[in-house]
Chains A and B, each alone.
Chain A
């Protein structure tokens, strides 16, 4: 289960993206002195173990027409948050669902869900319908629509970070 130093080198080298050429994994390996067979074997393994959730196109949802991006936050009693997190995490409207700490007094919310939609009205409608359907409409919630996107890129991990 351990991710070793060679894996971390590969994770770092891949984090910026894959070269758009016929043999991208060979090129990736060249940048860190790893032959293609080792790159392929390690990547398969990292994917099988869920270290790599996904490999492929990462879209800018805004450019695809998902203009409304709402962070919907909920104040759920601690003893209920696992149950409600599972319910909302499984809802088709929700693209991300995390528990995070409250920061009282500024921030009473402990469950964070993202809902993306074509426009604000469709997000608000989807949220209202979901809240009723899933039986969570009575919990305090707040919707934070995004106003501007300043930055969107991949998280950078692994050995490449140390070199930057």
Chain B
């Protein structure tokens, strides 16, 4: 379980991590922690799966990267098999089962639209299922900050 210090770290460091030679030292000072304590806490949060990573969230549009949301109607008895195929692609960033006839939803992210297309073609070939490609046309809001 996470404690109040972990919560303070999570709430303070969803963005705004210093870019300097000793960033953990700078961040630790404003949290009233030592540099080592902050690093150890973050390592534990990551090991425990509370954090998916400590790193960047990119705006891929700004450097020519592409991503799309993909939906597939997967027969119930093939769900695990298809999930394993899809998840094996490093370009698949996340994948959720959702309650709908289109029941598998995942994001494909790559450096170019051609790479995204290649992944979609390969997923169709490997699964024999139709993929519904729904690329972002316009972004209105990206928040994804969660209070711990």
Residues of A within 8 A of B (CB): 3, 7-8, 11, 14-18, 20-26, 36, 40, 43-44, 47, 49-61, 63-64, 66, 69, 71, 82, 85-86, 88-90, 94-101, 103, 106-107, 112, 116, 142, 144-158, 161-162, 164
Tell yes or no: B114 within 8 A of A by CB: no
Question: Which interface residue of B23, B63, B100, B144 has the most chain A CB atoms within 10 A?
Answer: B63
Are B146 and A52 interface neighbours, CB within 8 A? no
Instruction: Please name all residues of chain B whose beta carbon is closer than 8 Å to the beta carbon of A7 when the two chains form the complex.
Output: 63
Which interface class (under 10, 10 to 19, 20 to 34, 35 or more) fits B? 35 or more
25 CB < 8 A contacts A-B: A18-B55, A20-B46, A51-B58, A51-B59, A53-B59, A55-B16, A58-B52, A64-B146, A85-B140, A88-B141, A96-B143, A98-B139, A100-B137, A107-B134, A144-B100, A145-B99, A147-B96, A147-B99, A150-B97, A151-B106, A154-B53, A154-B56, A155-B107, A161-B110, A161-B111
Interface residues of B, dominant DSSP:
mixed
Are A103 and B55 interface neighbours, CB within 8 A? no
